[in-house]
Structure 1
Amino acid sequence: MKVIRLFALTAAILINTATAQENGKKANTATNSASFVSPQIQVVPIKDSNSEKNYELYIELPEDYAEHPSKTYPVLYYTDAIWHLEMVSGAAEFLLEDVILVGISWQKDAPEDLREQYGAHVSRFTDYSFWETTNPNHPKLVFGQAENHLAFIQNDVIKYVDKNYRTNPNSRSYFGYSLSGGFGAYILLTQPNTFDNYVLGSPLSKSTMSHLAEINAELIAAEADKSEKSHANVFIAHGTLEDEREVTTKEFKALLDERKQLVVEFDSRTIEGNHQTAFPRIAVESVAWLASAMTHIAVDDYKVGFWDIPQLNNPYVSTTPENRNDGIAVGELALTADKKNAILNVAQEIFNDDYGNYDALLISHKDQLVFESYYKKGRINLAHGQASAVKGYTSLILGRAMQLGYLTMEDLDKPLVHFLKDLDPTKFTKGAEKITLHKALTMHGGLTIDDEKWEEVEQDSIQLKGQGLVQTLLERSAPITDETQTYLYGNFNPMMVMTVIDAVVPGTAEDFIKNEFLDKLGITNYEWSNHVSGLPQAGWQARIMPRDMLKFGHLVQHKGKLNGEQFISEAYLEKATSGIVAPAIDWMPKNYRYGYFWYHTPVKVGNKNYDMTLAWGGGGQRVMVVEELDLTMVISGFDGDDDKIMQPIFDTVVPAFAKE
């Protein structure tokens, strides 16, 4: 029935008089002055306290509103309410259920002669216009009332809704199409903090852009000495047959880019159709986009890439995480008030960018997820790029192969080429046999590859296929000696390890990772890219959900056990997570040591040191384990200086769980 209803709603809008939004003709569906009637919608009369004009609000509450008296809800405000109500309401029912919808009508008591000439929607031409010019063809219309209408929305509409309904004042969104979309663009430029998310459907013509450019120039001059920034997510779309809108959309984005105090996540789309027929598709896509902007849960059946998803305008922070039946047990952050508040303060500081750009912080204590938070592009069900944390996961995969008997601890000290039977040793550089699994796992392989020579073959999928990768590396490297076998961070060593995994396990490494590792951990929502060799990447280019990152940490925390049974070789994991070597690299903190693609560092709390083991990827991807405290923490982000985030981990989070 829902599918039939949504189709009917789409069809209704398709045949509606959307073209009336562009011109002054009467719209047959809008000439009746009677109030809108619907059993799901409350029609509330409201007066502009400044102009004394009368309007109506069409308020639709979520189905569970009465059942949850303490729950607050985001609000979606939309203009041109009669035209947009059915489509916005229908799309929200399927894609955005937990939201209060507020439609704002046209002026109900507009002069009768104007209503006769232009229709019941006459006020939109004046209320939404931000240009104070006269039009000889429409001498009775007083254009340029956008500032006053915005004041009405801010001072009367929003205040009324916040006072009378359980709203989340930190999550407001705006929907407008055509002229009301242009009004939304005006709000975004002049009063961006009015809403957190803006849906602007086919909003801009050449003439309106010229006015917005003038307004923007004045605002830039006025903001020259201001440092406080505003943030907003913007979805802007137009039809494929609206060539002018393609140009004006780019011009509008350029205006936003000029505003140093306005930080905008901009999603621009072109939807099949003209100004009228593109509307229903734009409405549905924009509501689905809003669903991912308003909540920490991305819409499961609406594929949104990580870089396309809008940023959360407010952090999602829970000290009682929800049970998602994903293999992660949940509990409550049971700490003293001061310690709990200190962690909550860290969450707010992360959202404020005090430590850089981060998307998630999760804390598991005694095998229960007790703190879960998401920021910016972080979502509970959205896989996040892992960067070099993948190296740590590759090490665990090798330990899984060892637990299943495909390798032994003694094999760690054997030449890596011993396991690769398809190689031609007569072409190896001198000293190739010095590279053992142990050396590769500690970044001491000793390869010396000329960059220009490697550029000649690095994309050659034929020459590098499978074990051909190691063959090529060992042919092109300078001689391998004790002097060259020093710590050298990079992806050659991890890929050599992955080649060994592929050689010793049944089937392929890709199948082994899925069937014997990720599937058994209950990890299904992920992306794991392949290297040009055809083998799975061993050092980067994988995406994992933050909750699933916890599962890797729990393996380390429990000495390789999964549900009480040995999953990773205990002897291997103990060595892999110990501080075997001191990484000789400038950007590495001096107290960090390196094991088998895992790091090790002490954490000082009072007079006691606790050992932390961690996987670390650029941008701030970290899986951190303090075994003595039964503590696993996960961070994900996309920060350029990703060491700052460790300050609150060391100073606040770990001490909160330390033994008194």
Structure 2
Amino acid sequence: MKAIKILILSITIFSNTALAQENSTKEFVSNVEGSSLVLPQIQVIPIKDTKNDRQYELYIKLPEGYSENNDIQYPVIYYTDAIWHVEILSASTEYMLEDVILVGISWQKDINEDLKKERGAHISRFRDYSSRKSTKPKIQAKYQLGQANKHLDFIRNDVITYVDKSYRTDPNSRTYFGYSMGGEFGTYILLSQPDTFNNYILGSPSIKNDVPYLTELNTKFGPFDASNRNSSLKANVFISRGSLEKEMVEPIEEFIILLKDRRDGGLSVHKEVIYGNHGTAFPMTAVRSVAWLSSLMNHVSSDNYDVSFWDIPHLNNAFISTTPEDRKDGISVDTLAVNSNDRNAILKLSQDIFDGKHGSYDALLISHKNKLVFESYYKKGRINLPHGQASAVKAYTSLVLGRAIQLGYLTMEDLDKPLIHFFKELNPEKFTKGAEKITLHKALTMHGGLNIDRDAWKEIEKDSVQLKGHGLVQMLLEQSGPITSESQTYLYGNYNPMLVMAVIDAVVPGTAEDFIKTELLDKLGITNYKWSTHMSGLPEAGWRASIMSRDMLKLGHLVLNKGKLKGEQLISAEYLAKATSGIVKPTQDWMPKDYRFGYFWYQTIITVGNKRYDTTFAWGGGGQRVIVIEELDLTIVISGHDGEDKIMTQISEIIIPAFVKE
């Protein structure tokens, strides 16, 4: 429905534009006496710039139902050049973002009449939206350029203060919309006082000569430091230009690079190139930016919103539910039924996660007795968008192997056979000494013993033909140093998982890619996913796959239920029991000392009071976890993009104890 509305809106925009162009070439003659159109939804409120004694007007449009919904706080979109933009923004938000307050800021009303007659009613925008003075004394004396700082003070101290006092506004969801010089003004706000707004829409910003000054502002604000939340711009930025605005390409690209070079975890930058010149690109800039805006005000992504993970804007507010929605996706739902103290603690933890107090996380889901009872999304998390899984993919590869065993393509005894046993077409004469010592068991526990020179391997990767298919195994076993008992120690990485994936591909009918889809993902109802392909043509086995957070929960339920799905034994129970046990002790310094490793699954003991609970989990960098505690009938899913990834402390101290019965 939303897509249909957008289509109707687009047709309306272009129809009206064409009609206006046609009428502009004709003399309009009518004998009928007309009257001015008054938009009853829009209030015109006079407001004064108290510091500079200037008069302006605000065009305020409240959402339908505002007076009836007294408990709702509404997002606010502030936009400059109000009279030019009011109609298109009103129409766009009506169709795509209904529950929002629009606040248009006019040009100065009591401006010098001679200037107004000479340049038009918009003359004050040259002064108010420009951040630098003119180098030409006559122009500077006449137009008083470079007063963006004063206009920003007016917006912060008078406009926003008035709107927040007069209406029920959401302080976490303020948006600025500016086009052309208004976009230029927005770049100044972003790099001088970014906390003014949460979201910035900068359409074709006139920054042709401003990048050096913007760079200076960025330097004054200071670099991003992950340990200091105040060092982040904490903003979502939509920046666009017309495809025919050739003179705008270089400065806008330089500005985008300036922002992205901050490596700012709280900053999201989305660029769009819209067909047209500076004038004709405007209507679709409004439409597309409002569609983008809707995607950061809702935990459900807008229709056809398909961008890279890093371009997903941060949610303005956390979505937290103790009564998750039944989305008919194979996940049963219920209500969070814990005592009030534990419930409040979980709710507080969720808000703290959103506020960044525990790092950068995107989702937290809790399932009890195979029913989703708590669901929350933060930052880049969306209920219907796949999230990168990093090394948690290794655990999912282990489940694929368990499916192959359940179907009889492998046996438990095969786990201890030499891995080369499964590749009849390879040339063993070229294998490194001791290649036969590598078994599936060894590879699954990161004890394969491969010792590859990285520089030499990079050269091999330049000729990827020799790595195609099972040629990958041939080359790994050729290029490795000798496999010995000394080399077969715990070594974390992706060589071992790819050996396992190659075995799966060798023994199942068809390809490993088809097998993963038909025998695991399809059966779980996991259809919205991305699973990348290794240069060998095999599916990646250790990383580079994305699935939705609810689908992570399905994999956790499969482990919780000992490999069964709706009564069918999907994964070999014997294999799964071994895969999720603590077989070996990892040796990396960065890994907690009480963690143990099974077949690409981790295992640890979590203590609550005087009780100890065997906990198994998939784990990927950035904070991807599928945690299963069988004794508590509990499954917890976490996804994130945090560098330090220390959320397990809060999970152990707040969430798990809530489900322990005294």
Same fold at TM > 0.5: yes
| Mapping of residues 369-388 of structure 1, within 5 Å | 369-388=372-391
Q: Distance in 2 between matches of 1:251 and 1:599?
A: 44
* Offset of residue 344 of structure 1: 2.8
Q: Which amino acid aligns with 1:125?
A: F
Q: Distance in 2 between matches of 1:216 and 1:462?
A: 46
Q: Distance in 1 between matches of 2:568 and 2:262?
A: 57
The alpha-carbon distance between structure 1 residues 15 and 253, as it changes in their structure 2 partners (threshold 3 A), is: farther
The alpha-carbon distance between structure 1 residues 14 and 305, as it changes in their structure 2 partners (threshold 3 A), is: farther
Of residues 8, 11, 18, the one that matches 1:7 is 11
* Offset of residue 365 of structure 1: 2.0
Q: Paired residue for 2:59?
A: 58
The alpha-carbon distance between structure 1 residues 137 and 395, as it changes in their structure 2 partners (threshold 3 A), is: closer
TM-score, with structure 2 as normaliser: 0.87
The alpha-carbon distance between structure 1 residues 596 and 112, as it changes in their structure 2 partners (threshold 3 A), is: same
The alpha-carbon distance between structure 1 residues 494 and 603, as it changes in their structure 2 partners (threshold 3 A), is: same
- 1:583 to 2:575 alignment: no
| Mapping of residues 179-578 of structure 1, within 5 Å | 179-206=181-208, 228-229=230-231, 230-249=233-252, 252=255, 264-578=267-581
* Offset of residue 83 of structure 1: 1.6
Deviations 1:248-288 (A, max 9, x none): 33554577689999964333444443221222333233223
Contact 2:240–2:285 (CA under 8 A) maintained in structure 1 = yes
Q: Paired residue for 1:150?
A: 152
* Offset of residue 576 of structure 1: 0.8
Q: Distance in 1 between matches of 2:119 and 2:333?
A: 59
Contact 2:9–2:92 (CA under 8 A) maintained in structure 1 = no
Contact 1:10–1:87 (CA under 8 A) maintained in structure 2 = no
The alpha-carbon distance between structure 1 residues 196 and 10, as it changes in their structure 2 partners (threshold 3 A), is: farther
Contact 2:324–2:372 (CA under 8 A) maintained in structure 1 = yes
The alpha-carbon distance between structure 1 residues 262 and 510, as it changes in their structure 2 partners (threshold 3 A), is: closer
Q: Which amino acid aligns with 1:191?
A: Q
Deviations 1:52-80 (A, max 9, x none): 65544334444565675533332222121
* Offset of residue 324 of structure 1: 2.5
Secondary structure of the 1:364 match is strand
Q: Distance in 1 between matches of 2:117 and 2:154?
A: 25
Contact 2:45–2:60 (CA under 8 A) maintained in structure 1 = no
- 1:124 to 2:113 alignment: no
* Offset of residue 526 of structure 1: 1.0
Deviations 1:109-134 (A, max 9, x none): 55655444333333433443444668
- 1:617 to 2:620 alignment: yes
Question: Is the deviation greater in 244-253 or in 81-90?
Answer: 244-253
Q: Distance in 1 between matches of 2:410 and 2:582?
A: 22
Q: Which amino acid aligns with 1:622?
A: R
Q: Which amino acid aligns with 2:104?
A: G
Question: Is the deviation greater in 462-471 or in 524-533?
Answer: 462-471
Contact 1:228–1:261 (CA under 8 A) maintained in structure 2 = no
Q: Paired residue for 2:79?
A: 78
Secondary structure of the 2:318 match is strand
Q: Distance in 2 between matches of 1:606 and 1:451?
A: 47
Deviations 1:453-512 (A, max 9, x none): 433433544322222222233333344344433322222221121122112222111111
Deviations 1:437-461 (A, max 9, x none): 2222122223333444433433544
- 1:46 to 2:50 alignment: no
Q: Distance in 2 between matches of 1:464 and 1:207?
A: 50
Question: Is the deviation greater in 385-394 or in 562-571?
Answer: 562-571
The alpha-carbon distance between structure 1 residues 649 and 242, as it changes in their structure 2 partners (threshold 3 A), is: same
Deviations 1:321-356 (A, max 9, x none): 333322222333332232223223333443344443
* Offset of residue 563 of structure 1: 2.4
Q: Which amino acid aligns with 1:77?
A: Y
The alpha-carbon distance between structure 1 residues 453 and 109, as it changes in their structure 2 partners (threshold 3 A), is: closer
Q: Distance in 2 between matches of 1:266 and 1:557?
A: 39
* Percentage of identical aligned residues: 63
Q: Distance in 2 between matches of 1:556 and 1:240?
A: 51
Q: Which amino acid aligns with 1:623?
A: V
Q: Paired residue for 2:31?
A: none
Q: Distance in 1 between matches of 2:407 and 2:624?
A: 29
Q: Paired residue for 1:103?
A: 104
Contact 2:260–2:269 (CA under 8 A) maintained in structure 1 = no
The alpha-carbon distance between structure 1 residues 266 and 37, as it changes in their structure 2 partners (threshold 3 A), is: same
* Offset of residue 164 of structure 1: 4.3
* Offset of residue 160 of structure 1: 3.9
Q: Distance in 2 between matches of 1:384 and 1:488?
A: 26
Q: Distance in 2 between matches of 1:655 and 1:236?
A: 46
Q: Distance in 1 between matches of 2:470 and 2:265?
A: 51
Contact 1:549–1:623 (CA under 8 A) maintained in structure 2 = yes
Secondary structure of the 1:601 match is strand
Q: Distance in 2 between matches of 1:247 and 1:441?
A: 50
Q: Which amino acid aligns with 1:560?
A: G
Secondary structure of the 2:309 match is coil
RMSD between aligned residues: 3.3
* Offset of residue 94 of structure 1: 4.3
Q: Which amino acid aligns with 2:644?
A: D
The alpha-carbon distance between structure 1 residues 655 and 62, as it changes in their structure 2 partners (threshold 3 A), is: same
Q: Paired residue for 2:27?
A: none
The alpha-carbon distance between structure 1 residues 293 and 14, as it changes in their structure 2 partners (threshold 3 A), is: farther
Q: Paired residue for 1:631?
A: 634
Q: Distance in 2 between matches of 1:72 and 1:335?
A: 29
Question: Is the deviation greater in 540-549 or in 265-274?
Answer: 265-274
Q: Paired residue for 2:164?
A: 162
Q: Distance in 2 between matches of 1:66 and 1:638?
A: 40
Contact 1:14–1:276 (CA under 8 A) maintained in structure 2 = no
Deviations 1:140-179 (A, max 9, x none): 6554554443344334433443344443221010100112
* Offset of residue 596 of structure 1: 0.9
Secondary structure of the 2:191 match is helix
Q: Distance in 2 between matches of 1:397 and 1:336?
A: 38
Contact 2:397–2:541 (CA under 8 A) maintained in structure 1 = yes
Q: Distance in 2 between matches of 1:472 and 1:187?
A: 55
Residue-pair matches, total:
638
Contact 1:13–1:87 (CA under 8 A) maintained in structure 2 = no
* Offset of residue 197 of structure 1: 0.7
Q: Distance in 2 between matches of 1:258 and 1:502?
A: 41
Q: Distance in 1 between matches of 2:265 and 2:421?
A: 59
Q: Paired residue for 2:173?
A: 171
Q: Distance in 1 between matches of 2:17 and 2:301?
A: 27
Of residues 595, 600, 606, the one that matches 1:597 is 600
Deviations 1:356-401 (A, max 9, x none): 3322222222222222233332222221211111110001111122
* Offset of residue 569 of structure 1: 1.5
Q: Distance in 1 between matches of 2:563 and 2:75?
A: 43
Contact 1:232–1:313 (CA under 8 A) maintained in structure 2 = no
Secondary structure of the 2:296 match is helix
The alpha-carbon distance between structure 1 residues 486 and 49, as it changes in their structure 2 partners (threshold 3 A), is: closer
Unpaired runs of 5+ in structure 2?
22-34
- 1:657 to 2:659 alignment: yes
Deviations 1:67-103 (A, max 9, x none): 7553333222212122222332333344434433332
TM-score, with structure 1 as normaliser: 0.87
Q: Which amino acid aligns with 2:336?
A: L
Question: Is the deviation greater in 138-147 or in 593-602?
Answer: 138-147
Q: Paired residue for 1:20?
A: none
Q: Distance in 2 between matches of 1:209 and 1:482?
A: 59
Contact 1:126–1:143 (CA under 8 A) maintained in structure 2 = yes
